[in-house]
Chain A
Amino acid sequence: MAAAGSRRVADGGGSGGTFQPYLDSLRHELQHRDPTLLSVVVALLAVLLTLVFWKFVRSRRSSQRAVLLVGLCDSGKTLLFVRLLTGLYRNTQTSITDSSAVYRVNNNRGNSLTLIDLPGHESLRLQFLERFKTSARAVVFVVDSAAFQREVKDVAEFLYQVLIDSMGLKNTPAFLIACNKQDIAMAKSAKLIQQQLEKELNTLRVTRSAAPSTLESSSTVPAQLGKKGKEFEFSQLPLKVEFLECSAKGGRGDTGPAGIQDVEKWLAKIA
C-alpha cells in the first residue's frame, strides 16, 4: 500500500519532472547560500523591467506634442516656422532636413508645443512624414495661394496622401490648411482654395483607388476619403480641417511684422 502510494507520488512528480531538476538545483543553492543562478535570473528580470519602463516613459513624454509644418516646395513653411518662433524675417533656401524647436503658445496656460518644419521636396516629403506622423498632435498644411492655380493637382495629391496617412493614425491630429503668401496681389482666398481642393480631391479619390496595385500589395483596402456617392467635402472627414489665410512674409517684407495672427490663435486653441 505504502509502496503503491509512494509510486503514485513519484509518478505525479514525474509529470512535473521537467521543472524538478531546476527546482532541485535552486533549492540546493539556496540551502548552500550560493545563489548564482538565482541572482542571474533576478538581475535579468530587473534589467528587462527597467528597459520596458524607460521605453514607456520615453514614448509618453515625446508623444503627441508635435505640430508638423508640411506643404509643397516653396510654399513658405520655413519662413512661417521662423516667424512663429521669433517674429523676425530670415532668408531661406530649400530645406533638406527637418528643423524642430519648442514653441511657447501664448495662451493663459502657457503650454509648449514642438514645431517641426519638414522639407517639401518631392523626394523627401514622404520619408519625413513617415518618421514624424506618429508624434503629430496637429498638422499645418501650408499652401502657396499665389501659385495655387498652377499647382492645384500637386497640392491635392500631397494633401490626399497626408489625409490618408493621418486617418490611419490612432489619435487623428487636428488639421489646418494655411493659405500662405496672401501679401501677393494674385493670391486666392481661402474659400476659393477650399472649393477647388474639394473638387480635386473628389476626382483623386476615384483615380487613386483605380491605380494598379503595388508590387507587394497588402490585403487591406486603401482608405476611402469621405463618403462614396456624394461629392467630397472636408466636413465628411473624421478629422477636423480648418482653412485660414496668412502671410509669413508680411505686408512690408523683411521690415514689417507677419500676418500670422490667425495661425497663432489656432495653435493656442489646439494646444
Chain B
Amino acid sequence: MLDFFTIFSKGGLVLWCFQGVSDSCTGPVNALIRSVLLQERGGNNSFTHEALTLKYKLDNQFELVFVVGFQKILTLTYVDKLIDDVHRQFRDKYRTEIQQQSALSLLNGTFDFQNDFLRLLREAEESSKIRAPTTMKKFEESEKAKKPVRSMIETRGEKPKEKAKNSKKKGAKKEGSDGPLATSKAVPAEKSGLPMGPENGIELSKEELIRRKREEFIQKHGRGMEKSSKSMKSDAPKEKGKKAPRVWELGGCANKEVLDYSTPTTNGTPEAALSEDINLIRGTGPGGQLQDLDCSSSDDEAAAQNATKPRATKGTLGGMFGMLKGLVGSKSLSREDMESVLDKMRDHLIAKNVAADIAVQLCESVANKLEGKVMGTFSTVTSTVKQALQESLVQILQPQRRVDMLRDIMDAQRRQRPYVVTFCGVNGVGKSTNLAKISFWLLENGFSVLIAACDTFRAGAVEQLRTHTRRLSALHPPENHGGRTMVQLFEKGYGKDAAGIAMEAIAFGTVPEKHGGPSLGSFVFCRGSARNQGFDVVLVDTAGRMQDNAPLMTALAKLITVNTPDLVLFVGEALVGNEAVDQLVKFNRALADHSMAQTPRLIDGIVLTKFDTIDDKVGAAISMTYITSKPIVFVGTGQTYCDLRSLNAKAVVAALMKA
C-alpha cells in the first residue's frame, strides 16, 4: 500500500530505502525538503506532492529524517503509528552507528532494515484492520432475546399516565395492537423503574382513571403539597387582616380632600426626624474624598503577586538546576521545556509586528526542529531556542531566487526588448514614489527608462509622474548621454483601460525591427518620431486597489496576463501588520485565477516601503517573505530619490530578536 519509505540523515545520505513501486523516491522527497523543512513550514507533518501524500518525522537527536509516501487518494490510518514504531526500532537497533559525530560511521554502516520494516508494516496493517467497524448484532444474539417475557411484565397502576395515553389513543378496539405496543412501552417504563399494570384487556372507566391518577399523584407529591396549600390558605386571610380594607364611601366621587391620604405637613417646616439609623445611611468610609477604584484590584494584584512569587522562585530555582544539569550532563529538549520559552518568543515576535498566524507557525516549526535535540554543555533552553529561531528567520529572509535586476536588464538589452516591471499594491503604500526612486537608480546606472502611467483612476496620478519625469530629466539631461532621452513618460490621460496603455507603452519602448520594415504596431505608435531608440526598462505604475475588490483585481490580473512583464513587484508598507498576509494571499490568488497559462505569473518580488517609520518593529518583512517565499528586492527608507536600499537579512533579524 505504501509507495516508499525512506530513512536519511540530515546531511543528505540515504541510510535505508523501501520502494513499493518502481518510481524513484528522490523527487518527491526533495520537494518535501525544499517546500516544508527549508521554508519553516514544519508545523504539521504531512505534505502533498502531485499524486502522493508524504508524511515525515524528524529525529533531532540523531539528525535523521523518516519519510513515508503513499497515494493521495488512500487514507491509511496506520501510517503515523508505523512511522513512530519504525523510528523507535531503527534508533534502538543502530544506536551506535548513528550516535557518532563523524559521517564515516553512517557511511560504513550497513543498515539492513528490510525484515524489521516488513514485520512492522504487517503489524500496523493488521492493527488497522482490527479497528474496522463492527457489524450490528442480530436480535437473537442480543440480551433482550435471552430474557423471558414474564420478567418484562410489570404491575399496573403505578404509572397511569402512560396507560392513559395508551387507552386514550388506541381505544378498546385496538387491544391486540395495544399488547405489543404496551410491552414496548413497558420497556422504557421498566428502565425508569416504575411498574405498570398488565394489559390483559381490562378497560377502566375514565372517572376511575382520573381518580386513580390523582390518588397516585397525591401519594407521591401530595404530603408536601397539601401542607403548602393549607399554609397558603391560612396566610392569605392573615395578611389581609393586617391591612384595613379601603372603603370607598362616596362610591367613586372624585373629591380632592377625601382622596388626599398624605400625612399633613405645612410648607417650610422641617419634616419629622428620620426613624432610621443615621449611620446606616451614611455608610462607612471617608465622606468628602472620592476613593480610587483600586480596592478590589489591589486585592487581585496582591493575590497575583503571591501566586507569581512562589512561581517565580520556583522558576529561578528550576532555571538554576536546569543550568547545572546542562553543565553536568546532556539534556534533551522536550516540548514542555520549550513551551514557555516559545510562548514568550511568539509574543515577542507579535510585538515586533510579525503577523500572528505566521508567528504561531514559525514557533511550531522551531519546536518541531528542536524536539529531542541534545543541548550542549553550557547552553540553556532559552539560548538554544533563540538560536534556532534566529537561524530560521535568517533562512526565511534569504532569497530563493536571484535578486539582480541590473543583470537581467543587460540580458534583455541583448535581446532588443525592454525589461518590463509592474508595480502593484493597495492604496497609498508608495508605488509612484518608489517607482521614481527605482528610475533614478536605473538612470544612475546608465539605463534609459520609460514610465507608463497606467494609474488612470486617481486624480493627479499622471501629473505626479510627470513631475517626477521632469525632475529626473533635469538630473540626467540628454546632453550627458549622447542625445538620448533617458527618461520619458507614456500616458494616455484618465479613464482608459490600464492594460491597453501598458501594451502600447511596451510597444513604444521596443526598438522597431530594422530589417523587413517597421511593423504596423510600432509604426502606429511611433508618433511621427522617425528614430525610436527604444528604452531599456519600462516601469508600469498601476492604481492602488484593495485586495477584496474583485473587479479591480480582475483588471490587474488581466494587465499582467496580457503584457507578461518580466518582473511583478508587490509594493507593501512596513507598517502593515496582520493585513500583509491577507493582501499577499489575495493578490496571488487573483493573479493565479485569472491566468490562462499553465504556470501563472505570480508576484515575483516585494518592495518594502516606509521602512524609516518603524524603528525595530520590522516584522512585516518576515510576514511577507514567509507568505510568498519571494525575496524583498528593494527597501524604501524615505521620500527622496536616494532613499532606496537592499535588504540586509542579518540586520533585520538582529533588530527582530533584540529585546
| Interface, chain A (partner B; CB < 8 A) | 78, 81-82, 85-86, 88, 90-102, 117, 119, 121-124, 126-127, 153-154, 157, 203-204, 206-208, 210-217
Q: A85-B103, A157-B404 are in contact. Are A215 and B635 (CB under 8 A)?
A: yes
- Of all A-B residue pairs in the complex, the 4 with the closest CB atoms, nearest first, are A99-B11, A95-B12, A214-B648, A207-B406
Provide a sorted-by-A list of 24 A–B residue pairs whose CB atoms are within 8 angstroms: A78-B11, A78-B13, A85-B104, A86-B107, A91-B14, A91-B26, A92-B12, A93-B8, A93-B26, A96-B37, A98-B11, A102-B102, A102-B104, A117-B11, A122-B399, A123-B398, A153-B402, A203-B407, A207-B404, A207-B406, A207-B410, A214-B645, A215-B637, A216-B648
Please give, as numbers and ranges, the residues of chain A lying within 8 Å of B26 by CB-CB distance.
91, 93
Contact present for B407 and A215 (CB under 8 Å) = no
Interface centre among A82, A100, A154, A207 (most CB of B within 10 A): A207
Contact present for A122 and B11 (CB under 8 Å) = no
Contact present for A99 and B12 (CB under 8 Å) = yes
Interface centre among A96, A122, A210 (most CB of B within 10 A): A96
Q: Taking the nearest CB of chain B, how far is it from the CB of A112, in angstroms?
A: 12
Query: Other CB < 8 Å A-B pairs besides A99-B12, A122-B399, 17 of them?
Result: A86-B107, A88-B107, A91-B26, A92-B13, A93-B6, A93-B12, A96-B11, A96-B12, A96-B33, A101-B102, A101-B104, A102-B102, A124-B398, A153-B402, A157-B402, A207-B410, A212-B634
Please give, as numbers and ranges, the residues of chain A lying within 8 Å of B12 by CB-CB distance.
78, 92-96, 99, 117, 119
- Per DSSP, chain A at the interface is mixed
Q: A78-B11, A127-B394, A207-B410 are in contact. Are A90 and B107 (CB under 8 A)?
A: yes
Q: Is B480 an interface residue (CB 8 A)?
A: no
The residue of chain A having its C-beta at the shortest distance from the C-beta of B397 within the complex is A123
Contact present for B441 and A212 (CB under 8 Å) = yes
Q: Taking the nearest CB of chain A, how far is it from the CB of B658, in angstroms?
A: 13
Complex alpha-carbon distance, A161 and B524, angstroms: 47
Complex alpha-carbon distance, A92 and B10, angstroms: 10
Please give, as numbers and ranges, the residues of chain B lying within 8 Å of A124 by CB-CB distance.
38, 395, 398
Contact present for A93 and B611 (CB under 8 Å) = no
Please give, as numbers and ranges, the residues of chain B lying within 8 Å of A206 by CB-CB distance.
406
Please give, as numbers and ranges, the residues of chain A lying within 8 Å of B102 by CB-CB distance.
100-102
Q: Taking the nearest CB of chain A, how far is it from the CB of B609, in angstroms?
A: 13
The residue of chain A having its C-beta at the shortest distance from the C-beta of B633 within the complex is A212
Contact present for B13 and A215 (CB under 8 Å) = no
Please give, as numbers and ranges, the residues of chain B lying within 8 Å of A208 by CB-CB distance.
404
The residue from B400, B404, B644, B647 contacting A123, defined by CB atoms under 8 A apart: B400
Q: Taking the nearest CB of chain A, how far is it from the CB of B237, in angstroms?
A: 92
Q: A123-B398, A210-B406, A215-B637 are in contact. Are A95 and B107 (CB under 8 A)?
A: no
Q: Taking the nearest CB of chain B, how far is it from the CB of A146, in angstroms?
A: 17
Complex alpha-carbon distance, A210 and B445, angstroms: 7
Please give, as numbers and ranges, the residues of chain A lying within 8 Å of B652 by CB-CB distance.
215
Q: Taking the nearest CB of chain B, how far is it from the CB of A180, in angstroms?
A: 15
Please give, as numbers and ranges, the residues of chain A lying within 8 Å of B441 by CB-CB distance.
212
Q: Taking the nearest CB of chain A, how far is it from the CB of B261, in angstroms?
A: 87
Q: A93-B26, A94-B34, A212-B645 are in contact. Are A99 and B9 (CB under 8 A)?
A: yes
Interface centre among B13, B29, B102, B647 (most CB of A within 10 A): B13
Q: Taking the nearest CB of chain B, how far is it from the CB of A234, in angstroms?
A: 20
The residue of chain A having its C-beta at the shortest distance from the C-beta of B16 within the complex is A91
Q: A82-B107, A99-B11, A117-B12 are in contact. Are A214 and B404 (CB under 8 A)?
A: no
Contact present for B63 and A97 (CB under 8 Å) = yes
Complex alpha-carbon distance, A82 and B15, angstroms: 12
Within 8 A of A (CB), among B1-55: 6, 8-14, 17, 26, 29-30, 33-34, 37-39
Contact present for B108 and A86 (CB under 8 Å) = yes
Complex alpha-carbon distance, A4 and B29, angstroms: 93
Complex alpha-carbon distance, A122 and B629, angstroms: 12
Please give, as numbers and ranges, the residues of chain B lying within 8 Å of A123 by CB-CB distance.
38-39, 395-396, 398, 400
Complex alpha-carbon distance, A215 and B63, angstroms: 36
Interface centre among A82, A94, A206 (most CB of B within 10 A): A94
